A = this chain, B = another copy of it.
Amino acid sequence: MTATLHESEEDVALRRTVADIAERCRSTRAAEVDDHTSCWGALVRSGLTELRGADDDGAPLATVGQVVIVVEEMARAVCGAPLVGTLLATELQRLADVDHVVPDEALTVLLDQELRGLAADDALAWDAGVPVTHAVGLDGENLVVRALEGATGSQDLSRPVAVPAGDAELVGGTLDADARTAFEAFAHVVLAADLLGASGAVLESAIEYAGQRVQFGQPIGTFQAVQHLCARAHVQVEAQRSAVLFAAWSLDSGQGDVVPAIVAKAYGASAAVEVVEKAVQVFGGVAITWEFPAHRHLRRVLLDAEVLGNGSALSGHLFDVVEGRSDGLQ
């Protein structure tokens, strides 16, 4: 299901390109193997991993609105290609005004153990699937890069985490408070788009399933209880979509208001989990099997929800921002 707001022809084409890559990911993936190298290759070939690279003026090559389209579509397939990590790492370098620290490679970000923010020491690299080998982090105001050990898996099956191996190397760029706020706002919107894609897709397939699965002599989708479960979940998906679109527009329009980004992530963090839980309820027993993809969506949204602050933490943070007790930085 695409956004009902008009998209430009360019955006429609972009969405179609990404949806094709995601569809190949979905249809070729065996349950046991989580190999997304071919998805990564397709994303690279389409230039989608470079969306937040800097043009000659330091401006990003693509808008946040376009990033949202790409991230949402790939998340619908719960693809494990390290797209989000790379987009965040690229944005970080752009904001710090440094060139690609590891040219032509997948990258990701270094976060503290609680995933609350960028870090350098005692850190782990999130979204560190193949072919990620390095991660970018922050030591005070200084951008650093660290090589990674092999990924150790995570409960988001397609997005392993990895532990840094080498020392942190300074790369010459710095991030002041404003730039850090800008990075967090961008990251919140990207995560919110990931939550939207992963939860929206599983709901759609649950609704389809409800139209086919027969119990008590009729499709379970005819029961009002099942209809209302799906309807409530749909409301939560639409609200997520509105929040993501608005936050992306806010960043792109350059008003520098970070509140919509915090709102999108805070809302998505709780709404997406509830949506997937409802979809699981509609699927019934099959959703509790490893083979069936529902639990991959569930694991994805559970971990996404925690990255850079869960719904609870961000809600409290938002209160401080609104009350003027904080400048938007967490």
Contact = CB atoms under 8 A, between A and B. Distances in A.
Contacts of A225: 224-225, 228
Q: How many copies does the complex hold?
A: 2
A6 to B, nearest CB: 35
User: Size band of the A side of the interface?
Assistant: under 10
Interface in A108-164: none
Nearest to A223: B224
Nearest to A225: B224
Nearest to A226: B224
A228 B223 CA distance: 12
A293 B225 CA distance: 29
Interface in A216-241: 223-225, 228
A180 B185 CA distance: 52
A223 B224 CA distance: 8
Contacts of A228: 225
Nearest to A228: B225
Contacts of A224: 223-225
Interface in A16-73: none
A43 to B, nearest CB: 44
A49 to B, nearest CB: 47
A223 B228 CA distance: 12
A96 B279 CA distance: 58
A225 to B, nearest CB: 5
Interface in A192-234: 223-225, 228
A267 to B, nearest CB: 23
A215 to B, nearest CB: 14
Pick the 3 closest A-B CB pairs, nearest first: A224-B224, A224-B225, A225-B228
5 contacts: A223-B224, A224-B224, A224-B225, A225-B225, A225-B228
